[in-house]
Each structure stands twice: as structure tokens, then as C-alpha cells.
Structure 1
Amino acid sequence: MKTLSTRLIGAGALSFGLSCALPALAAPSGTVAFLMPDQASTRYEQHDFPGFKAEMAKLCPDCKVLYQNANAAVATQQQQFNSVIAQGAKVIVLDPVDSTAAASLVHMAQSQGIKVIAYDRPVPSTPADYYVSFDNEGIGKAIATSLVEHLKATGVATSKGGVLEVNGSPTDAAAGLIKKGIHSGLESGGYKTLAEYDTPEWAPPKAQQWVSGQITRFSSQIVGVVAANDGTAGGTVAAFKAAGVNPVPPVTGNDATTAGLQLIISGDQYNTILKPSEIVAAAAAKAAVGFLSGQPPKGETRLFNTPTQLFKPAVITAQNLKAEVVDKGFANAKELCTDRYADGCKKLGITH
């Protein structure tokens, strides 16, 4: 097994090249399913599926694409999995609601000769046919390290207090990898972890409720918060705002959602991770077409005994948001700089 590097590339050198792109393929036909886990994050409807659908249309115009979202329900995802098999799916791209429960789905599909591509979230307990994702452990380490460096740069003494850690869903193996990376990133910083929480279903209201309790418990001891994605970051910021804390301590994020980027613009969130989901979705489509063509993708490493392709995204803060996100077309200034965010955009030189 190749050793995976968890060091993310610098924001100025963002690279999404498909280094292990498949050879030119004859466009086959067949049915491919794209099964996503929840709607708490807007990325699946707005980025992942459109990116997958567009790449499939390009690579396999005669293929039929089935799309379902389980809305965070394990039973619903199992029903959807059974449904796409009944509809003749030959390849299933699966982002599992529950990474452990997904093992039985993988076994069931493979017993019928159906290929399963684990997407974004791995299935640790049984090998899928392929796994494509961003480097989740690297993401966790990057956002935590970025926060620690910021606290040190702004003169926050390690003796002043500590950080809260708002992790993702306990049933999501990718959240577990992010959590592992966060622990690694915080280890060398010297700031103690006051408390941490695994957020059920990644639900922002549940993150907000937990953080509200910690504000009551720790008050001014909280010098920063490592939140595992922009949704939990938004819940965290809302908790501090509701408690009348101003300014909000630096809060991390992940996914570069419009809401997350706007919180950075307003100064309420410190960082996020830019990971255009369309990139991974396109890689999943290439892999699916490879399986249909009898040319299975090799992967560039192995994780969970599964051929794996990982992408390394970049940390975004107010300092590089314009250059790396807006100027490169990953987000629209008109969409970001609405109403209460207009002044923040002006300060960052973002115009439309």
C-alpha cells in the first residue's frame, strides 16, 4: 500500500488534475445509479449530481443515469439501492448514509455482478470496487492546522483557554477520517480541546444546540472552534450570535458552500475547504464508464482494501477567497455579495 500524504497543497497551487484518468473508452450503454446520503448539505443537489450527470452525458450518451437522495435515512437508502438494482443498474455510485450498514449493500450488489463505487464516504468493513473522494483526513488536519496557526499569529496564548470540536455524523466514515485529521492538526498546537461532539446527520441545528450548551459551560475560555463542515460551522456561528458573543471566535468549515463563503466574507467564519464536488463526481463517472467498458479503474492507492483515487483541495480564508474562489469561477460574486455581505465583499475587493 502506498503511504497517503495528508498534507494538502497550498491554496495558490490548487490542482484537480485527473492524474489516473482512464484511457479513451468506447462509449457503452447501461444503467448507472448515483445514490447520495442527505440534503442537510446543499452540495449533492447543486454540485455532485449535476457534475456526475454532465460527465456521464459526455462519456456515455447512451447510458441511463438514476439519481436518488436518502435524506439521511438508512432504511430509505436501502430501499433506493434495491430499487436501482431492480431497474437494471450495472454500476452503483454510493455515498452511504451509514458507512457500516452499507457493507451489506455492497455485498448484495457484488453477489449479482454489480459494481459499487464508494463515493466521498468509504465503506471500511468491506471492499467496494472503487473509492473516489477528497482526502478527508487531510481536510481535517488542514482546517485544524490553519486555525492553530491563526490563533498563534493573533497572539492567543495557549493558557487562555481551548477549542471546541464539532465533528460530523458518527455513522459517516468520512467524518471519522476528518475527525482523525482534526485531532492530528490540533495535537501540535498546544491548545486543549475543551469538548467535542459528533453531530448526528451533520445537522446544523444539532450542532448549534450543542455549541450553545458549551458556551454556557466554558464562556470566554473558548478561543476557537473546529467545525467539520460549513453546515456545522453555520450552526456554531448562530450559537455564538444567539449568546451575544461578539466577535465570534474563529470557526473552521469545509465545502466552500455559498453560506460558508458568506460567513467568511462577513468575518464570522475563519476558513473553509474548497473542494468542487464536480471534480470527484466526474472521476466517479469515468470510473463507472470504465466498469461498463470492461476497463476497471486502477486507482492511485488503496484505502480499506479498495482501489482509491483521492483529490487534495485547498484551505480558503478571507485572504485568498477572492483569488482562489471568485477569480477562478468557483463562486459568483453577484451571488455572494448580497445585502449584508456587500460591505465585506468591498473590503476584500470582490466586485460584480
Structure 2
Amino acid sequence: MGLGAGLPAMKRRFLAVAVAAGLILVGACGGGDGGGSGGGGGGDSLTVGVLLPGGGASRFGQFDKPLIEKKLKELCADCPAANVAATPDPAVQQQQFEAMITRGVDVIILAAVDPQLMRPSVEAAHRAGIPVVAYDRLAQGPISGYVTFDGAEVGRLQGEGLLTAMGSKADGGQIVMMNGATTDPNAGWFKEGALAVLKGKVTIGKSYDTVNWRPENAYTNMTGAIAALGAENIDGVLSANDAMAGAVASALHAAKVRPLPPITGQDADLTAVRRIVKGDQYMTVYKPFKRATDATVEMAVALGRGEEVGAIATGNVDSPTTKDIPAVLLPSVSVTVGNIGDTLVKDGMYTVEQICTPALRSACDRAGLT
């Protein structure tokens, strides 16, 4: 799948639901009262709404949220502290989005749980004169800007990492593919990039599209793959992200598989980094989130002020509904046990103390994490 291929209402009754679900709007620049005028932009009252598909211990809660808050404050020193709504439930996120329209925000940053489901809401925002910046996942509808990491590169890094870890079994070995949700256009993008590396080199014994990216679904699927193929016949697992990689490792442990076959991941979750140190996961894909959040906030503030974003964008992408969306596509980094210090620790994502629990101390020493 290429950049544009296969990517997958303003009613007040939604407001109470959204508030109950945790909707908070990011107050905007200047000394206004925080209420936007629906696409008015400019002036000293720029209100930005932010919606993320996860919070708390998720990558979006740990990294994206504070980085968005920080950049908004940098670009608008008089703004109140940023507050960001986060939910993994697509229906709740749709309600939150529509409440933002009712409130009359000036611009919305949207990392969609279900990019296709959000199309009517994005269209409603467009009719209300509210630009929408898609973050991480390209929602359908008239999106005004898009920031993400190059998904094909992510998939290639995962595929290349898996082949390296498989060694001699990379020639004709059998793997399981644990892909993301079909409702997320990035999932197909990752899959395509991985297949470009893996096809013709390994046998894909089982391939799953994991509903909602949920680890419990990945666990069920991996348990099924073990039963169907036999644990001894699984030479590697291409897992599209770290949360699912953890579920894959748990399923293999439950089946008493020792040692585990190499497993890939994505997002550089702390638990995944610890698994890499321990040897239960081979690699993860690290996305330097600050570059992405900075570009996203820059786009949002510019659009909210009625300015163009051509100088921020590095190119254009298409969705099934919208052509030539100004976009920023960023590179990613493959992380294995040998370069954790030079990537994640060096960039300040984690400290050695955060990674190296007492149980991992000896493994950290072997990895040079001291």
C-alpha cells in the first residue's frame, strides 16, 4: 500500500458525553476566554482541540501528550496548560470530536482511533470552518495537514530486523505476522513495507490483522498460531507494535517455548525495551516523537491563525477522500539491545535507571547499559 492507497455532527447532546469521557480543550494564545469562534483563527483567542487514541501508560500518554503540551506553550506563552483528551474507544472519540465542533474550537489535532469512522466528523468540522491536522494516522475527510512517520520504512526496518535475528533460518524459515487493525491506514502501510523485505525469503505460516491493535486479540491469535503450526515450527514473529509483541511473548511463554523466537515491535515502549534487554524481544522501531509533535503543533497553530502550512510540509499525500494533503513524513530508527544507549538513552527518552530494574541488572551490564 502506497501513501494514498487503501487508507481506510455538531449536536449538543454529545457535549455531556464527551465531557464525561474526559474531553478537555487546549486553551489558546493570548488573553481570550478560551472559546474559539469556529475557524475564525487569528486574534488573541486561538483554541486548539487535541484528541489522542490512548493515554496513561501508552506511548501517546507517555510521550506525545507532554510534547504537544510543551510545544503549544512555546508557540503561545500566554496559553493555559494544555489538556488533551485520550480514549481508545472510537465511538467516544467521535463524540469528543463533535463536542469540540459544538464548542467552536479554531483547529483540531486528531490522532484517530478509527480513521474511517471519523470521516463524518472531519467533514462537519470542515463545514464549520475548523481545520483538522491528522497526527500519526491519516483520518478520512477534508484533512488540512498530516504528520506521521514513514510507514513503509517502519515495516522495512521490522522485516530487516527479523531476518537478521533469524540468522540461517531467514532463508526459508517460517514466521507469524501480527499486523495492526485494518481500520488504521498505517497498519497496511507497515505491512506492505515488511512484506517488501520478507517475500521470497521466508514462509508466512499465519498472518493476522489484529482488531483495534488490542494485545488480548494478539494473544489469542498467537495462541492459535502455535496450535496450528507447532511452536517448534515458528522461527520468528513480525509484530507491528510493542503492545502486541508483549502479548506474543506471553503466549509463547504460556506454551513453554524456550528460547523465544525473535519478535519485532514498534514505539519503543519501556516494557518492550526491557524485553529487548532480557532477550524476549529482538527489536523495536523508535520514532523520535518530538519532531512529529513539533511539526503537528506548528501546523495546527498556523492553520488556526489562517496561515498556510506549505513551508512546514515536506510533501503531499492522498487519502481515499482527499488529494494533496500537506504532509510531513519523518524517519524512524531500529533499536536492538546493542544500540539502546546510543538511541533511547542518548535522546533522553529513558534513563538507564528506568530501563535496568534490579532483575535486569546483569543483562544490562552485558548490554553496556551502566
Pairwise TM-score range, normalised by the shorter structure: 0.7 to 0.9
Q: Which residue of 1 aligns with 2:22?
A: none
Say if 1:32 and 1:66, in contact at 8 Å, map to a contact too.
no
Find the aligned partners of 1:138 and 1:244 in 2 and give their Cα distance: 33
Q: Which residue of 2 aligns with 1:276?
A: 288
Find the aligned partners of 2:288 and 2:57 in 1 and give their Cα distance: 14
Q: Which residue of 2 aligns with 1:68?
A: 85
- Cα shift readout 1:246-270 (whole Å, capped 9, x = no counterpart): 1100000000110110010001101
Greater mean alpha carbon deviation, residues 211-220 or residues 33-42: 33-42
1:156 aligns with 2:172: no
Say if 1:28 and 1:62, in contact at 8 Å, map to a contact too.
no
Greater mean alpha carbon deviation, residues 53-62 or residues 225-234: 53-62
1:180 aligns with 2:189: no
Aligned-partner SS, 1:307: strand
Find the aligned partners of 1:97 and 1:158 in 2 and give their Cα distance: 37
Q: Which amino acid aligns with 1:96?
A: A
The alpha carbon displacement at 1:126 in A equals 3.0
1:302 aligns with 2:319: no
Aligned-partner SS, 1:194: strand
Aligned-partner SS, 2:141: coil
Find the aligned partners of 1:144 and 1:158 in 2 and give their Cα distance: 13
Say if 1:40 and 1:202, in contact at 8 Å, map to a contact too.
no
Aligned-partner SS, 2:335: strand
The TM-score, its normalising length taken from structure 2, stands at 0.83
Structure 2 vs 1, CA of residues 327 and 62 (structure 1 numbering), >3 Å: closer, same or farther? closer
Find the aligned partners of 2:234 and 2:344 in 1 and give their Cα distance: 29
The alpha carbon displacement at 1:331 in A equals 1.3
Listed as ranges, the gaps of 5+ residues in structure 1 are 5-25
Aligned-partner SS, 2:290: helix
Q: Which amino acid aligns with 1:302?
A: N
- Cα shift readout 1:205-255 (whole Å, capped 9, x = no counterpart): 211111011112112111000000000100011111111101100000000
* RMSD value, Cα: 2.1
The alpha carbon displacement at 1:181 in A equals 1.4
Q: Which amino acid aligns with 2:60?
A: Y
Q: Which residue of 2 aligns with 1:215?
A: 226
1:114 aligns with 2:130: yes
Q: Which residue of 2 aligns with 1:168?
A: 180
1:322 aligns with 2:333: no
The TM-score, its normalising length taken from structure 1, stands at 0.87
Find the aligned partners of 1:286 and 1:27 in 2 and give their Cα distance: 17
The alpha carbon displacement at 1:313 in A equals 1.1
Structure 2 vs 1, CA of residues 244 and 3 (structure 1 numbering), >3 Å: closer, same or farther? closer
Aligned residues: 323
Aligned-partner SS, 2:133: strand
Say if 1:119 and 1:133, in contact at 8 Å, map to a contact too.
yes
Decide which of 199, 205, 210 is 1:199's aligned counterpart: 210
Q: Which residue of 2 aligns with 1:14?
A: none
The alpha carbon displacement at 1:327 in A equals 3.0
The alpha carbon displacement at 1:28 in A equals 5.0
Say if 1:28 and 1:60, in contact at 8 Å, map to a contact too.
no
Matched ranges for 1:39-58 at <5 A: 39=55, 42-58=58-74
Q: Which residue of 1 aligns with 2:7?
A: none
Find the aligned partners of 1:301 and 1:211 in 2 and give their Cα distance: 38
Find the aligned partners of 1:27 and 1:137 in 2 and give their Cα distance: 40
Q: Which amino acid aligns with 1:67?
A: V
Query: Which structure's relative contact order is higher, taking Cα pairs within 8 Å and 6+ residues apart?
Result: 1
Decide which of 99, 112, 119 is 1:103's aligned counterpart: 119
Q: Which residue of 1 aligns with 2:18?
A: none
Aligned-partner SS, 1:185: helix
Decide which of 43, 46, 50 is 1:34's aligned counterpart: 50
